[in-house]
Amino acid sequence: MKLKDLGPLMARRRAGGLSYDYDRFRADPMVATLRWPDDVLEQFLYDFGDNPAFVNDYGSVDLRAIQWRLETVPSADFHEMPTGATDAGCIEEFAEKPVHWVKVRPPEVGRQWEEHGTWLRPPLLIDRCLLDPSSSGLQVVEGRTRVGVLRGRLREGLHVASHHQAWVGRP
């Protein structure tokens, strides 16, 4: 199953507006067969499943081939981690103003960074071999702002934890 296969579901979601809530979405038989964690399902499919740039970057991936697990990832691994080609450079843009991007979020986001040096909600990373069998390493699927804030805080010498939780999709 690929993102394009979810087109009819995404059209129903859009047509239903706010009345087509996340619970209805995740109960759809196509989505339910994936057996993805709710946090991943919401960030990956519900929020971005029909976003043209997202579909361009991840539309060729067999969604059934991805196994998601919450992993602890060292801060250093995020230094050069790319995102999809259509959003190339956006992590660096967020990294330029980490304090700003935290301030425009709810106050608990800033408290989490100050007290724990990390994000509230784990971002989504994918093993790049799922995108191209000859590739290796991880790529940021969702959470570009969070990873940008991390990079910017490191650059500015602000408090950053040595490790961070992230949802990692692997074959």
The CA dihedral of 17, 22, 26, 28, to the nearest 10 degrees, is: -30
Q: What does the chain come to in residues? A: 171
* Nearest one of 171, 162, 127, 169 to 39, comparing CA atoms: 169
* pLDDT value for 83: 96
- Work out the number of other CB atoms within 10 angstroms of the CB of residue 2: 14
Q: Which residues pair with 71 in a beta bridge?
A: 166
Looking at the chain, list the stretches that DSSP marks H as alpha helix, in order from N- to C-terminal side. Answer: 7-16, 22-27, 29-32, 38-41, 52-58, 90-96, 98-103, 107-116, 144-155
pLDDT string in tens for the chain (171-residue length): 999 999 888 888 888 765 678 888 899 999 999 999 999 999 999 989 889 999 999 999 999 999 999 999 999 999 999 999 999 999 999 999 999 999 999 999 999 999 999 999 999 999 999 999 999 999 999 999 999 999 999 999 999 999 999 999 999
| Straight-line distance from the first to the last Cα atom of the chain, in angstroms, rounded to the nearest whole number | 14
* pLDDT value for 17: 66
Amino acid (1-letter code) at residue 165: Q
Distance CA 129, CA 47 (A): 24
- DSSP assignment string, 122-148: --EEEEGGGT-TT--SEEEEE-HHHHH
* pLDDT value for 14: 81
Q: What is the pTM of this model?
A: 0.94
Distance CA 78, CA 163 (A): 10
* pLDDT value for 147: 98
Distance CA 1, CA 74 (A): 32
* pLDDT value for 22: 86
* pLDDT value for 158: 97
Q: Which residues pair with 67 in a beta bridge?
A: 170
